[in-house]
Structure 1
Amino acid sequence: MSGNDDDAIKAVFAQMQGGGSADGGADASAEPKGEAPSAGAPPKPRATFTEGLKTFPGISPRAWEHPADRAALSALRKVPGFDQVLKRIFGLVNDKSLRLLFLANTVKVGPTQCARVYEAFQDCLAALDAPYEPDLFIAQTPLVNAGAIGVDEPFIVLNSGTVELLDDDELRFVIGHELGHALSGHALYKTMLAIILRFTIFRLGMVTGMIRMGIFMALQEWSRKSELSADRAGLLCLQDPQAAYRIHMKMAGGNLVDQMDLDAFIAQAEAYEGDEELTDSVFKLLHLLGKSHPFPVLRLTALKRWVDGGEYAKVLNGAYPKRGDDRAQGTVYEDVSDSVKHYRESVKDGGDGVSRFFTELGQGLSEAGGALWDQVRDAFKRPDDEGGEDDGDAGDDAGGASTL
């Protein structure tokens, strides 16, 4: 293993030990392919440890994905050669090296190891009908954090502070949140897009400063929306909206539940979202710059809106897209349409200014994005890709066909 490889692996582990959002911080991680690792007979339905917990056979990640998250990720996946570039960059950190590091520094959860966490994990796997079972580790640190890590064989890591802070039901929410990230294919894109952006800023001088900043903010907006998606997955594993809201209160104020009132925190969140003064909207936007996760009050109100709007109840009652269905696959045009609808409703309902900003930002970046992608792809082209025109075309075709 080279020095660069070792540094990259240590950086991933260090980020897991760092602070940040309780559900995974910056999510220095990668994604599974959303399919079982090997073709074969479908696994038998998993048993649940929580009495009365509903399961959702064959559920597609689209059932919990936020429309803006889905649109951004779908569009990125359809860029020719995009996945190939990501895979090459991720060669700095491979699954085996990461797994060995966590095997050496953490405790692997199993039927006889941390049974409380194991049972919550099995409930989440059953609820979301996960097509594979990733490994689950607990890392010793008081900081509240969690994450999903890996490329082809992802695994989940919980900090011990997270396990200590949450009760059994709340633990299902956090594990389900990370499992939702994995099944939606978020983690690889979060990590690798940040690396691509860094090379874009420091190596591609043709891109102006404003374009760089605009793309950075757009990527952060997608990252924040992906957290809203994962919160929905967590709720589908928890199946108690009030408990889910309480988790966000804990993330904001710590384990002082006996001194805090959930209704007051919900009112606080509504007051934050309801303030429509222009100066406040600007401050809200500035506060979010550089953040990969939304603030707890924003996550609470977004999740509550999903529940109050009836979408959560539909899934509970069995009305959800299935893996393999044509509709479950969707198209980039349908996803973008859903995203536009979301942003328009945000503006109409008096959004906090962030959605309005990104609605206008998207129009300004659409043309610049195509030219920028050509520069990024050329910067990361391997020497053996330059041997002839036919090879380059073959690579682009393969990228276009792969939706990962």
Structure 2
Amino acid sequence: MQTIDFIHPEDAAALDALKSIPVLPKVIKSFMDLGVEQLTTGLNMASKVKLSPSQLPELYNTLPPICELLDIKEPDFYLEMDPIPNAYAFGDTQTAITITSGLVEMMSEEELRGVVAHECGHIVCHHMLYHTLAYMLANATGMVEKLASLAAPLHYALMYWSRKSELSCDRVAAFIVGPQTAFSMLARLAGGPKSITSKLNLVELAEQADLYDALCKSGLWNKALQTYAVLNQDHPYTSVRLRELLKWTDTQQYQGLLTCRRICPHCHQAIDEGWRFCQHCGKKI
């Protein structure tokens, strides 16, 4: 398994375009030299719950197996009190993942695992330096917001890449938890808790992305309106994410990844070479 196995083509193209901007390396260096990572690490420690084997282990224990499968260094893992379901990764040399209380309450155990895998995807796909800058600009206030407005073209280019990068991380989630859980994870984000969305028609939801594309192509004014609507968004629309993930999980590339890493086709846990039955779910391999 290599990083390239997960990278969505639109992610790769957008990142290449981003890297071609002459001033970008200087902007990023200046930004990181401000001590953003150190500041955020301190704020995380002071205001959130740092998860560990002895601190809410039922939440913490979702992380280590994912990091082991992806062969990445384990980031810090935090729980934040916020009724809005959300998760985000931050940092480059000091990486951290935060999940909110609203997310924990809305997601099933496996769906939550999929969200954590998605955030780990930013690490395994080497997104973190640009992703951190994009996150800061998307959530900018005060002086940072004013600086972002002065560099609007760079800001919009970064937001465009950020939206495409999420498509790669959805692939990582599907690799870790399997397609059905990854799909239901996205369904929760689109429509709310399982009590409402358990019977959601996922194919029909994905088809909304095609209707959206058709609307954008139906005239210059419609295209302009929809372009304006997404300029400051760092995530693509959920229907678009679902459509792209449905297409990818139906490819030989995805099936090959599962075979390469010896993942149970039923529960998507790591298995040993000699097993005839999965020792996690008990089903025949």
Give the TM-score taking structure 1 as reference length: 0.55
Unaligned runs of 5+ residues in structure 1 are 1-58, 204-211, 320-404
CA-CA distance at 1:84 after TM superposition? 4.5
Hey, what does 1:224 align to over in structure 2? 163
Matches within 5 A, 1:384-395: none
* Structure 1 pair 230–224 and aligned structure 2 pair: CA distance change class (3 A): same
Asked whether the equivalents of residues 87 and 100 of structure 2 are also in contact (C-alpha less than 8 Å), the reply is yes
* Structure 1 pair 270–108 and aligned structure 2 pair: CA distance change class (3 A): same
Hey, what does 1:261 align to over in structure 2? 199
Q: Relative contact order (C-alpha < 8 Å, sep 6+): which is higher?
A: 1
Hey, what does 1:270 align to over in structure 2? 207
* Structure 1 pair 117–270 and aligned structure 2 pair: CA distance change class (3 A): same
Say whether 1:247 aligns with 2:195.
Answer: no
Secondary structure of 2:97's match? strand
Hey, what does 2:115 align to over in structure 1? 174
CA-CA distance at 1:241 after TM superposition? 0.8
Asked whether the equivalents of residues 146 and 156 of structure 1 are also in contact (C-alpha less than 8 Å), the reply is yes
* Structure 1 pair 281–86 and aligned structure 2 pair: CA distance change class (3 A): closer
Secondary structure of 2:52's match? coil
Hey, what does 1:202 align to over in structure 2? 150
Asked whether the equivalents of residues 197 and 216 of structure 1 are also in contact (C-alpha less than 8 Å), the reply is no
Q: Percent identity?
A: 31
Asked whether the equivalents of residues 191 and 197 of structure 2 are also in contact (C-alpha less than 8 Å), the reply is no
Hey, what does 2:71 align to over in structure 1? 129
Asked whether the equivalents of residues 18 and 158 of structure 2 are also in contact (C-alpha less than 8 Å), the reply is no
Matches within 5 A, 1:110-125: 110-125=52-67
* Structure 1 pair 71–272 and aligned structure 2 pair: CA distance change class (3 A): closer
CA-CA distance at 1:281 after TM superposition? 5.6
Asked whether the equivalents of residues 148 and 181 of structure 1 are also in contact (C-alpha less than 8 Å), the reply is yes
Hey, what does 1:380 align to over in structure 2? none
Asked whether the equivalents of residues 147 and 178 of structure 1 are also in contact (C-alpha less than 8 Å), the reply is yes
Post-superposition CA distance 1:124-147 (Å, at most 9, x none):
1122111x1111111112111111
Hey, what does 2:33 align to over in structure 1? 91
- The farther-off stretch of 301-310 and 81-90 is 81-90
Asked whether the equivalents of residues 307 and 313 of structure 1 are also in contact (C-alpha less than 8 Å), the reply is yes
- The letter of the residue matching 2:112 is L
Query: How far apart, in 2, do the equivalents of 1:161 and 1:152 lie?
Result: 28
Matches within 5 A, 1:265-344: 265-274=202-211, 276=214, 278-279=218-219, 284-318=226-260
CA-CA distance at 1:78 after TM superposition? 6.4
Hey, what does 1:156 align to over in structure 2? 97
Secondary structure of 1:156's match? strand
* RMSD value, Cα: 2.8
- The letter of the residue matching 2:188 is K
Hey, what does 1:39 align to over in structure 2? none
Query: How far apart, in 1, do the equivalents of 2:147 and 2:121 lie?
Result: 29
Secondary structure of 1:317's match? helix
Query: How far apart, in 1, do the equivalents of 2:27 and 2:155 lie?
Result: 18
- The letter of the residue matching 1:220 is M
Give the TM-score taking structure 2 as reference length: 0.76
Aligned pair count reads 249
- The farther-off stretch of 276-285 and 305-314 is 276-285
Secondary structure of 2:28's match? helix
Query: How far apart, in 2, do the equivalents of 1:65 and 1:228 lie?
Result: 8
CA-CA distance at 1:81 after TM superposition? 7.0
Say whether 1:67 aligns with 2:9.
Answer: yes
CA-CA distance at 1:188 after TM superposition? 2.8
Unaligned runs of 5+ residues in structure 2 are 262-285
Query: How far apart, in 2, do the equivalents of 1:181 and 1:226 lie?
Result: 8
- The letter of the residue matching 2:174 is L
CA-CA distance at 1:268 after TM superposition? 3.0
